[in-house]
Amino acid sequence: MKEHLRSLLFVPGNNPAMLQTAGYLGADAIVLDLEDAVALTEKDSARRLIMHALERLTFAASTTIVRVNGLDTEFGVEDLNAVRMTQVSSVLLPKATLERIRRADEILCGTSIELIALLESSLGVEMAFQVATAVPRMRGLFFGAEDYTADMGVPRTTEGSEVAFARARVALAAKAAGIEAIDTPFVHTDDLDGFRRDVLLGRQLGYTGKALVSPRHVMTLHDLLKPNDEEVSYAKRVLEASAQALVRGKGVFGMDGKMIDAPIINRAKRIFALAARDGGG
């Protein structure tokens, strides 16, 4: 599997200046947005602008993703037909359901473009695992809390108890399917403490990446998603003790008054792998 995308930064598809600089903001992926960021009257011009950008611009080391309009709109099919002629890495499909994912897959037939399903309705969340395993080109599930709460008819809060179940369910389905779990954006761009809490909660739920609406959040997100010094130190001790136990023929051993077995050893290995990717934690 490819490396997880930690940061997915949204860029309006009708903003030429932002398109030109997007690849230099440090995000793992740039999401060129044809949906919510673009007014109905500018959909066609934004599509042309993004197609031009994908052909002419470099996005540095960032993966390119296009969020098309939903297949429940008049623009969705045209967006997909345009995108399929490009070298874009993935399509982010809003209001995803099993039926819409299969339809998008048919339109993208013959290309290597991957799909990321944006689950932002009660139906989409209910279908999470079915969507995640629907087609081979699925790269990830993305939970969209703003539209989900609107669909449920409940207020959206910064504390987030109203989305706790759905948020956890999407992460669980992605993990079960072996694809990426991408967390909902934190839209209060000036609330850095709130952003930190939200990222750490998502990490606890199993999210490996997060959507962003502000470039100011990119580096903070990367720092929060990588193992901290304490986690790396503990993982190192577990692996060293595991090696010693293996020499003695033991698969289970004690350390600091706690039983250490295969799941804990595997977690330590994963922490080390993440720390190595991010420069040692």
Domain ranges of the chain: 7-225, 229-277
pLDDT in tens, 48-58: 999 999 999 98
Phi/psi at 183 (nearest 5 deg)?
-85, 155
pLDDT score, position 281? 38
Side chain identity at 184, as an amino acid letter?
A: T
CATH number of 7-225: 3.20.20.60
Q: What pLDDT shows up at residue 270? A: 72
Task: List the single range of 82-86, 106-110, 258-262 with lowest mean pLDDT.
Answer: 258-262
Evaluate if residue 222 carries a pLDDT over 50. Answer: yes
**pLDDT higher than threshold 60 for residue 242:** yes
Write down the pTM of the prediction.
Answer: 0.86
The confidence band for 280, taking pLDDT boundaries of 50, 70 and 90, is: very low
Of 5-14, 28-37, 266-275, minimum mean pLDDT range: 266-275
Distances (CA, A) of 114 to 100, 108, 227, 238, 257: 14, 9, 28, 37, 46
Report the DSSP pairing between strands 253-255 and 258-260: antiparallel
pLDDT at 231: 73
Q: Which two tokens stand for residue 186?
A: 């934190």
Residue 12 is given by DSSP the state E
Question: How far are the Cα atoms of 23, 242, 262 from residue 246, in angstroms, in the given order?
Answer: 46, 6, 12
How large is the angle between the packed helices 76-83 and 98-107, nearest 10 degrees? Answer: 40
Return the closest-CA partner of residue 180 out of 22, 63, 49.
63
- Assess whether pLDDT exceeds 80 at residue 276: no
Residue 65 has pLDDT above 80, yes or no: yes
Instruction: Mark 262-271 as b/e (b = at least 16 C-beta within 10 Å).
Output: eebbeebeeb
**Distance of alpha carbon 271 from alpha carbon 67, whole angstroms:** 31
